[in-house]
Structure 1
Amino acid sequence: MQKYLCSLGSNLEPETHFPQAQVALKALSDDIRFSRNIPTSPVDMDTNNDFLNALFIIRTPMSANELKQKFNAIEEAMGRDRSDPQRSFKDRTIDIDILGRLEEKPPVPEYLTSLLPDLGLTS
């Protein structure tokens, strides 16, 4: 079993998409913990829509590649066009990323470091 530190973000109707994504993520593991949700400004994209972001830790027997495939399927089911090469620069219903294996203390974007204590972690 591996534990991964991951991030969750949305800047299109996040009040609707966040709970939906969390339900889908909980279906992947009985051992998942979420931080609180915080509003953040967009990074490296031109939009008027602020983001809602969170961190989470998921424990799973899946490899990082298998887990990312599951995350991508959730994103697509929620309307994200993963085939668009410009998708990283566009508004999104949901974005789920693996930051790394928890034991490796993966780097966390600065705008999310305030969430680490929610998960019992330090920056």
Structure 2
Amino acid sequence: MQKYLCSLGSNIEPQSHFPKARAALEALSGNISFSRNIPTRPVNMNTKRDFLNALFIIQTSMSAEQLKQEFNRIEEALGRDRSDPQRSFKDRTIDIDILGKVSDNPKVPDYLTSLLTDLGIAS
């Protein structure tokens, strides 16, 4: 079993998409914990929509590649167009990323480091 530190974000109707994403993520693993949600400004995007972001730790027997495939499936089910080559620069219903294995102390974007203490990880 591996523990992965991951991020969750949305700037299109996040109050609707966050609960749906969390429910889908909880269905993947019985061992998952979420930080609180925080509003953040967009990074490297030209948009007026702020994001809602969170971190989470998921424990799973899946490889990182298998887990990312599941995250992509959830994103698509919630309306994200993963075929768009510009998707990283556009508003999104949901974005789920693997930051790395918890044991590897993955780098966390500065705007999310305050959430590490919510998960019991020192910042």
**Normalization by structure 2: what TM-score?**
1.00
Query: SS of the residue aligned with 1:3?
Result: strand
C-alpha separation in 2, matches of 1:107 and 1:43? 16
1:98-121 Cα shifts (integer Å, max 9, x gaps): 000000000000000000000000
- 1:122 Cα deviation after fit: 1.1
Give the aligned partner of residue 95 of structure 1.
95
1:30-74 Cα shifts (integer Å, max 9, x gaps): 000000000000000000100000000000000000000000000
1:4 partner letter: Y
1:74-100 Cα shifts (integer Å, max 9, x gaps): 000000000000000000000000000
1:23 correspondence with 2:23: yes
C-alpha separation in 1, matches of 2:116 and 2:109? 11
Give the aligned partner of residue 72 of structure 1.
72
The CA RMSD over aligned residues, in Å, is 0.3
Matches within 5 A, 1:41-120: 41-120=41-120
2:104 partner letter: E
Length, aligned pairs only: 123
Give the aligned partner of residue 6 of structure 2.
6
- 1:10 Cα deviation after fit: 0.1
Large movers: runs of 4+ above 6 Å: none
1:43 partner letter: V
Query: SS of the residue aligned with 1:85?
Result: coil
C-alpha separation in 2, matches of 1:97 and 1:23? 16
C-alpha separation in 2, matches of 1:26 and 1:98? 15
5+ long unaligned stretches in structure 2: none
